[in-house]
Amino acid sequence: MNCPFGPKRTISEGTAEEALELNKLYDDLRRKLSMPRIDRLGGRALAAWDADEKAVHVLRKDGKFGNFGYSHGGRPFLENYEALFLLEMDRLQLEYCTMIMSVEQAYLLLLGESPSTKFNEYLVYSHLTRIGYILVRHQNVAYYNQDEPTKEDCAWALALSIVNNRAIPEYVKKSADFVKVKKEMKHIKECITKQEVPALKPMEEDNLSAICFDRKIVSTGKRKATGDETENPIEIKRRCLEIASSQKSFLDCLKDEPEFKEFKTAFAKFDIIEMGDRATGNEEELRNLQITFDLYLHNDGFKKSAPKPPTFRLLILGVQEPFPTHAEIAHTYNLQKYPVPLLVVSVAESKQIQAFVYYFS
């Protein structure tokens, strides 16, 4: 009889037949372990643990090292998870006080003995790197070209900071038009709040001589006249004069239109429900979720010296950590100086990984 886990045992425990079978298994295991292994040391990089820097110092590179490591004080170093990954892939020889470390010793040194988030971070890093993705430590920086930002860029950055609570990029703040656009937007906001018409700037004398009144100027931006307006031009003129004499906005003229009255009647039939302000009372409940890694595609031309914007940014959740709410995801997304989609990775007790992508439009 067979079961999903192999052939069923039919030998009784404690018998001579069972002892003979166990001895055969022990001899086979001893024979496999005693076989000589040939290893090419020249294919490994050499690194040593730097106790002062608390990091792995690279002494000799071997093979492609473009996606690994960083420079500090003019010396190359490896992140702890990078060193452990290269050690498992047999691409690194790690030394501690001139003694070669085993993988088990490297786990204790680089990840620590006490439980922490480093275990889940390395599990996600190792799995995604093995299947072809490039992961680097997250850096909340703004990616931009060398072109000077325009007034439109400044206006969009200010609008997104107010509406979505998004951080304004540093290169926009340093723009020569940023302060001017900010003052103009503030002035327009005050005019809208107070329902005031902004004062028109006086026309310069040079522009006055360029105006020609001997020909008819046709404007394509005006609203087309309705049938009632063409039939009753005197009534239209009377309403415009009343509005002009009262010094009110010409928008009040539109409120007398039949289309506006029909819309007002239809809108009054809706049952309007005022929603509570999400910004009040929920700020303390939002968790400060930390982005751990920036993820790049392998065929996207990644260069660590001059990286492009990442494809995703990773949020790693522990076993007992609850899944983030929509408000927490939106809050974390808006804190990015260069917003990209978020990849939320959940690690289960069985060390299985589940990933969920969040796109924002």
Taking only the tens place, the pLDDT of each residue in 246-300 is 655 666 667 777 888 888 888 777 766 554 444 444 555 788 889 999 999 887 7
3, pLDDT greater than 50:
no
Per the listing, tokens 């024979």 go with 31
Say which residue, 196 or 153, is predicted with more confidence.
153
* CA distance linking residue 160 with residue 167, whole number of Å: 8
Three-class SS state of 59:
strand
Whether 355 contacts 343, CB under 8 Å: yes
CATH superfamily, domain at 41-114: tRNA intron endonuclease, N-terminal domain (3.40.1170.20)
Average pLDDT over residues 314-325: 89
pTM of the prediction?
0.57
**Main-chain dihedrals φ then ψ at residue 293, nearest 5 degrees:** -130, 155
* CA distance linking residue 7 with residue 328, whole number of Å: 51
Please give the distance of CA 196 from its chain centroid, rounded to a whole number: 40
Per the listing, tokens 């303390």 go with 284
Q: Which two tokens stand for residue 128?
A: 């995604």
Burial 126-165 (b: 16+ CB within 10 A, else e): bbbbeeebbbbebeeeeeeeeeebeeebbbebbeeeeeee
212, pLDDT greater than 70:
no
CB neighbours of residue 121 within 10 Å: 21
Angle CA 185–186–187, to nearest 5: 90
Whether 257 contacts 229, CB under 8 Å: no
In this prediction, residue 227 has a pLDDT band, given cuts at 50, 70 and 90, of low
Q: Is 340 exposed, middle or buried (0-12, 13-18, 19+ CB in 10 A)?
A: middle
In this prediction, residue 96 has a pLDDT band, given cuts at 50, 70 and 90, of very high
The pLDDT of residue 94: 93
Question: Can you give the residue ranges of every domain in the chain?
Answer: 41-114, 151-194
